[in-house]
């Protein structure tokens, strides 16, 4: 398919060719503005992409260099790291967020938990039953909230069947992937609080 636009024509959103002299001045101005800002956004995005690659590389190299001080070889992007400037004004945090999923053993855990509930006397442990029901609710994407399910392991219940269910939950957890993040902070005045230096356009503070 030939997407070339003949001289003297503009292509509209439906793919139609519109004679240039029929394009309203306001539509021309809007098109110019959008294209100008998109060009600047792409350039800014490329700068951020380069910064991200370099930042991860530099942090990894520094962690490795620091480990060598003690005869330890630390390589790759592993674990969370916090780096502070000498005066403590700036802080950089590298975090590795793991994406956890449950395998088929979660079904066995749910069956054991259901059996526990059936044996508990009526009216007892109503709050625990509510927590269990919430833990196994699925979201709009049909996925279970891993934090809520894992939170059940913190409940102090000594029922033998319950403990087997908790072991099944622990065994069913699988790391499906991980995603590294870099967060940069600056100290707020002389306090012990830090505010993020945002790299998100939507979060950047704008002075009128």
Query: Tokens representing 76?
Result: 């790759």
The Cα 159–Cα 142 span in angstroms is: 30
Q: Tell which residue, 153, 173, 171, has the closest CA to residue 163.
A: 153
pLDDT at 121: 63
Q: Which residues pair with 69 in a beta bridge?
A: none
- The pTM of the full predicted model, rounded to 2 decimals, is 0.64
pLDDT score of 2: 59
Residue 206's pLDDT is 54
- The separation between the first and the last C-alpha atoms of the chain, rounded to the nearest angstrom, is 47
Of 137, 129, 128, the C-alpha closest to 156 is: 128
Quote the pLDDT of residue 1. Answer: 47
* Low-confidence residues of the chain: pLDDT under 70: 1-2, 74-78, 121-125, 202-208
pLDDT at 90: 96
Each residue's pLDDT tens digit, 24-79? 999 999 999 999 999 999 999 999 999 999 999 999 889 888 888 888 776 555 67
């Amino acid at each position: 398919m030939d997407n070339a636009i003949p001289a003297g024509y503009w292509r509209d959103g439906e793919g139609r060719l519109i004679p240039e002299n029929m394009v309203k001045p306001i539509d021309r101005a809007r098109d110019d503005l959008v294209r100008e800002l998109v060009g600047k956004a792409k350039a800014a995005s490329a700068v951020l992409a380069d910064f991200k690659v370099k930042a991860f590389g530099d942090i990894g190299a520094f962690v490795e260099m620091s480990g060598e001080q003690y005869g330890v070889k630390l390589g790759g992007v592993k674990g969370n790291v916090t780096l502070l400037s000498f005066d403590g004004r700036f802080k950089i945090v590298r975090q590795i967020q793991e994406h956890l999923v449950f395998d088929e053993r979660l079904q066995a855990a749910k069956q054991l938990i259901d059996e526990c509930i059936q044996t508990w006397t009526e009216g007892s442990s109503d709050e625990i039953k509510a927590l269990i029901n919430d833990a196994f609710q699925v979201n709009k994407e049909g996925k279970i909230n891993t934090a809520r399910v894992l939170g059940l392991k913190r409940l102090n219940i000594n029922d033998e069947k319950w403990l087997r269910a908790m072991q099944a939950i622990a065994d069913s957890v699988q790391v499906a992937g991980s995603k590294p993040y870099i967060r940069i902070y600056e100290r707020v005045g002389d306090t012990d609080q830090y505010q993020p230096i945002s790299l998100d356009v939507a979060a950047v503070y704008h002075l009128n």
